[in-house]
Structure 1
Amino acid sequence: MHRKEKRCLRLGILGCGMICQAAHFEAALKARNVELYAICDVAEDLLDRMAGMYGSRKRYSSYEKMLEDKEIEAVLIGIGDQFHASCAVQALLAGKHVFVEKPMGVTVEECLEMERLVKETGLILQVGFMKRFDEGIQFSRRFIREEIGDVLTMKAWYCDGTSRYTLTDNVQPYIFTSPHSRKPADNPKENRENYYLLGHSSHLFDTVRYLLGDIISIEAKLVQKEEMYSWIILAELAAGTAGMLNLTIAVRRDWYEGFEVFGTRGSVIAKTFNPWLFQSTEAEAYSLERDEYFRPMAADGHFYRRQLEGFADVILKGVCQNGADAADGTAAMRAMKAVYDSVHQDGRKIYLKDVRGGL
């Protein structure tokens, strides 16, 4: 039984597509401090179905009309990547707090504009990097900060597997579609290199930054054979840490994701699961001082619910934000563009501070 607090954040959700059906509608219902107040989509058949299924108080086929609703305190933007920035800007200008799915935008300039608006308005913007709310990853971050000592090297990998869609078809709810849904003018999925970088490497880079701080520079190589893409990325991290990252779509095996971090006083090794299993990362740390291996229970694997609760807590209670803010969204975009630029400039080292444009 999911109990609601007396004061809940009144949330309007934009989009009735896959990510909202599989994650955000249920997360809003289960979140202890969120009310699913309104749902918005231009596809009215899909909108009516979702509003009926999830019991939102209101439904809107116009985003502008939803933003005019004074009862709505925040919006969740769960639509196509190419629409994230413009819809987030509209919401901020309308005085709404914003939760926007990753990536925050598709160009560095879009992201910088959102950063500017957040500072100007004083509103909260959180990016949907839900891995920050994975208890196993949170445990790893605390251990790195408190016990691991100086970090020398880290490896991180994000490899979508060939079995991914078989698994998701089994564990996700049935996804309803509509011929009236709005899509980008072109088909972003046709350019697989760009599509994979935006959709997958954004998670990889944000996890690395969440654990170890800023990425300073990147050198990257892409190997592509048949329909398989694999990036090897050398990353220079804050405090002199060296990172070796791998993004492969799709690795010929089950989902394969995790990281290893080696420090002067310990180490942490972690295995992350397909997110639709709602299973926390299995993380094991070794402390030289304790001379012990240890790991957390990490029983609560509903990252999507946990991130919405964190978003609402920042707005309603002013608690410290654990989620990714606008600056984090920009940093992830810079890292993705740095990989693209390095690959297309024969592996040249690219400094993130110099990156501009989009993929």
Structure 2
Amino acid sequence: MKTLSNKPKLGFIGAGFIGQIAHLDNYAQLNTCELYALAEMRTDLREQVSRKYGIGKTFAHHDELITDPDVDAIIVVTARSHTFEVVFDCLQANKHVFSEKPMAGNAEQAEILVQLAKKKGLIYCVGYMKRLDEGVEKAKSLFDNALKTQSLGKLLQISAKCYMGDSYCKASGNIISHESRPLMIDEMLLAPDWLDDDRKPDFARYLNVHSHILNLIRFFLNATPSVEYFNYLNPLAHVAILSIDNVLINLETGEVQQRDWQESCTFVFERGQLILELPPALLRNVPARVTLIDNLQNAEKRIFQPDWSWAFKRQADYFVRLLCNQNSNNIISGEEALIDIQLAESIWKKMVN
């Protein structure tokens, strides 16, 4: 494999709404990389987006892009049902890869990608950008310190929730063409075989929306909890009980018809609480809110306000720094994302069993 330059040349596969708003826009603001190539099946969209971002090479299909020897790394933002096959092709072509989540529809496929990247010595990242939110970073530092010093006593319980609402926050600036979206396979076909067909679409939805909160729980614990219970009343309401080291984790997930995104983690200690409240993903430059309640210090309540920043932009910078060997610890690796899918499957197996 060739040595990357200090300014890696990036290829992008997919130029839809999320591809533009959450990825292309952010990489374009970095002076540490070059937006070199774009693959997009919609002709008019491909031409307009490439002109906007000054992308010199364009392709109708990812098969063409991955053969370009000058492409150092590829950002894959395709329909979820095609993420696995496209990432596989990119890794097979010896390209470093960042893909949106989930990386695959089931753990078996995800394992294939992880092993392929490992075999070829490639960087593979998956878009769990909330680990790079400045508020999350602050909360993780406070959490680790509380565990180490026992300043708040023992950790007793974690209460986590994610209620998906309308989170688009008037996100704008993307180019819209009137071309039809390319045909795509039904993502339910990628769900685990052990699920009944009528449950497969629900699992695919759960994995897409709620793997973020699973990823965050694991990030704070530096470990994977076991699953005690799962109740899936309907596609809009579900509860899971997890546990680790005698700590119970109550996880509420669902979907609401509100202009809101309700996602939070409350870490309950013997003598205080740490509360992390996450913003809607597309709300630019608003990091997570962090509150620390210390009942030993005159019931002190401290609210931490990190700098205005956006997790998606910090993620883009993080991936480029990984490519340039400026980071050695990949906290958004394919290995981590694989464990999230395995945990999601373990949760759903509780319902099946």
In structure 2, distance between residues paired with 1:242 and 1:253: 30
Corresponding position of 1:205: 214
The CA deviation at 1:151 is 2.5
User: Please, which moves more after superposition, 320-329 or 46-55?
Assistant: 320-329
1:275 aligns to 2:274 (yes or no): no
In structure 2, distance between residues paired with 1:302 and 1:8: 22
Corresponding position of 1:155: 159
The structure-2 alpha-carbon separation of the partners of 1:334 and 1:297, relative to structure 1 and needing over 3 Å to count, comes to same
Question: Which amino acid in 2 is paired with 1:152?
Answer: L
Q: Secondary structure at the match of 1:68?
A: coil
For the aligned residue pairs, the C-alpha RMSD in angstroms reads 2.4
Corresponding position of 1:310: 318
Matches within 5 A, 1:156-171: 156-161=160-165, 164=166, 167-168=168-169, 170-171=170-171
The count of residues paired between Structure 1 and Structure 2 equals 332
Corresponding position of 1:222: 232
Where does the alignment leave 5 or more consecutive residues of structure 2 unmatched?
A: 190-197
1:240 aligns to 2:246 (yes or no): yes
- Aligned partner of 2:351 among 323, 343, 354: 343
In structure 1, distance between residues paired with 2:289 and 2:186: 39
C-alpha contact 2:81 2:187 (8 A) present in aligned 1: no
Corresponding position of 1:34: 33
The structure-2 alpha-carbon separation of the partners of 1:86 and 1:131, relative to structure 1 and needing over 3 Å to count, comes to same
The CA deviation at 1:317 is 2.5
1:146 aligns to 2:145 (yes or no): yes
In structure 1, distance between residues paired with 2:132 and 2:139: 12
Matches within 5 A, 1:246-257: 246-250=252-256, 254-257=260-263
Matches within 5 A, 1:119-134: 119-134=118-133
1:325 aligns to 2:333 (yes or no): yes
Question: Which amino acid in 1 is paired with 2:277?
Answer: K
In structure 2, distance between residues paired with 1:75 and 1:90: 11
The CA deviation at 1:55 is 1.5
Corresponding position of 2:13: 14
Question: Which amino acid in 1 is paired with 2:276?
Answer: A
The structure-2 alpha-carbon separation of the partners of 1:120 and 1:52, relative to structure 1 and needing over 3 Å to count, comes to same
C-alpha contact 1:51 1:59 (8 A) present in aligned 2: yes
TM-score, normalised to structure 1's length? 0.85
The structure-2 alpha-carbon separation of the partners of 1:206 and 1:341, relative to structure 1 and needing over 3 Å to count, comes to same
Q: Secondary structure at the match of 1:323?
A: coil
In structure 2, distance between residues paired with 1:138 and 1:243: 20
C-alpha contact 2:12 2:38 (8 A) present in aligned 1: yes
TM-score, normalised to structure 2's length? 0.86
Question: Which amino acid in 2 is paired with 1:220?
Answer: F
Question: Which amino acid in 2 is paired with 1:297?
Answer: Q
Q: Secondary structure at the match of 2:225?
A: strand
In structure 1, distance between residues paired with 2:136 and 2:173: 26
In structure 2, distance between residues paired with 1:327 and 1:7: 26
Question: Which amino acid in 1 is paired with 2:185?
Answer: A
Q: Deviations over 1:19-54 (max 9, x none)?
A: 102211101111342322111112222111111122
C-alpha contact 1:39 1:56 (8 A) present in aligned 2: yes
User: Please, which moves more after superposition, 101-110 or 23-32?
Assistant: 23-32
Corresponding position of 1:285: 292
1:70 aligns to 2:79 (yes or no): no
The structure-2 alpha-carbon separation of the partners of 1:31 and 1:267, relative to structure 1 and needing over 3 Å to count, comes to farther
In structure 2, distance between residues paired with 1:114 and 1:248: 29
Where does the alignment leave 5 or more consecutive residues of structure 1 unmatched?
A: 1-5, 346-359
The CA deviation at 1:314 is 1.4
Q: Secondary structure at the match of 1:82?
A: helix
In structure 1, distance between residues paired with 2:14 and 2:310: 20
Q: Secondary structure at the match of 1:277?
A: coil
The CA deviation at 1:195 is 3.7
Q: Deviations over 1:294-316 (max 9, x none)?
A: 34332233211111111111120
In structure 2, distance between residues paired with 1:119 and 1:171: 36
User: Please, which moves more after superposition, 200-209 or 24-33?
Assistant: 24-33
The structure-2 alpha-carbon separation of the partners of 1:128 and 1:286, relative to structure 1 and needing over 3 Å to count, comes to same
Percent sequence identity is: 20
C-alpha contact 2:45 2:176 (8 A) present in aligned 1: yes
Question: Which amino acid in 2 is paired with 1:217?
Answer: S
User: Please, which moves more after superposition, 332-341 or 90-99?
Assistant: 332-341
